Amino acid sequence: MLFKQQAWLRQKLLVLGSLAVGSLLYLVARVGSLDRLQPICPIEGRFGARGQAEFPLRALQFKRGLLHEFRKGNSSKEQVHLQDLVQQLPKAIIIGVRKGGTRALLEMLNLHPAVVKASQEIHFFDNDENYAKGIEWYRKKMPFSYPQQITIEKSPAYFITEEVPERIYKMNSSIKLLIIVREPTTRAISDYTQVLEGKERKNKTYYKFEKLAIDPNTCEVNTKYKAVRTSIYTKHLERWLKYFPIEQFHIVDGDRLITEPLPELQLVEKFLNLPPRISQYNLYFNATRGFYCLRFNIIFNKCLAGSKGRIHPEVDPSVITKLRKFFHPFNQKFYQITGRTLNWP
């Protein structure tokens, strides 16, 4: 009898031990795979003075999961209250440029403990149907965060859509605006490459880049081609400057973000009045992919989707020369307006 009781007790202890280990592994995997473990990070600048506004680093998917459980009735109100979660309107928006590196910039900024990103492009300000749903609809599309954190979203179409500057101004006239740009000809070819890949997936044919970028009737650059128009950065920026002063914009060098991401990210931290938190530890070069990946902690690393860094088709050098000559005066004006000179040919 005593032997049976001892055996039963050992079996119970084994089960309880397995459950404890399993729970611990689950929590580590869940937190680690989301963002990072939770040390304390002070926030400075307009988001609070150092030492006054401290909050734990987030594990946003865990928080979203907690709120989801609460809505289903599986989590107490006290648990949710302890998380102190809110859905905030963005204090900064990456407004463009398409194929400039907006996704990479957003994911890299998400390394900062004070930054919370909207995972999807919301297209609130450039889509009339979405905009008609109102600002509360937009707010509810934002991720959960601590009040001391800042939310950032990105929708590259904002930069080139005529109605957007006024709409964002009406929401927040003091918002910070991030524009990431690449050398205009390279960006246009990248834009074409993405569209071409989409056509090929559907077994559809598509014109060569040269036929789209150059008007066959005049043999001049075809400004009706959207990929060309998008790369005339100064034309779009001038529309934004009717509503926002240049001090509310920060230009990110998308070409440098590929090769030397840390200095660019540090400039953004300064622009957003954030304490420096992103370091070289958070960025490592992946030789297989050919670009930098992200390290959140010892458990969780992340590379951008395989669709990033597509191989561009070969383009007639004379067409590239013609495009660069066309963009040159616009680039010079862009440098003058923004106060940032980029190493473009």
Residue with tokens 């492009």: 121
Q: Could you tell me which CATH number the domain at 84-338 has? A: 3.40.50.300
Kindly state the average pLDDT of the residues 6-22. Answer: 53
Question: How many CB atoms are closer than 10 A to CB 40?
Answer: 9
What share of the chain has pLDDT > 90, as a percent? 67
What's the rounded Cα separation, in Å, for the pair 48 and 88?
16
Residue 256 annotated in ligand binding: no
pTM for this prediction: 0.78
3-state secondary structure of 117: strand
Kindly state the average pLDDT of the residues 216-234. Answer: 97
Give me the phi and psi of 148, to 5 degrees please.
Answer: -80, -10
* β partners of residue 286: 291
58: confidence class by pLDDT, cuts 50, 70, 90: very low
pLDDT digit string (tens) for 280-339? Answer: 999 999 888 788 999 998 888 888 876 566 788 999 999 999 999 999 999 999 999 999
Task: Assess contact for 303 and 294: CB atoms under 8 A.
Answer: yes
Q: Is the pLDDT of residue 44 over 80?
A: no
At 42, list the tokens: 């002070």
Q: Is the pLDDT of residue 23 over 80?
A: no
Residue 187 annotated in ligand binding: no
Kindly state the average pLDDT of the residues 5-33. Answer: 49
240: confidence class by pLDDT, cuts 50, 70, 90: very high
3-state secondary structure of 34: coil
Residue 75 annotated in ligand binding: no
Residue 190 annotated in ligand binding: yes
How much is the mean pLDDT over the chain? 83
Length of the chain: 345
Cα–chain center distance at 192: 21
From 99, 117, 154, 322, the catalytic residue: 99
Verify whether residue 202 is a known catalytic residue. no
| Residue 324: closest CA among 218, 182, 196 | 182
Q: Is the pLDDT of residue 63 over 50?
A: no
Residue 304 has a pLDDT of 84
Q: Is the pLDDT of residue 18 over 70?
A: no
* β partners of residue 131: none
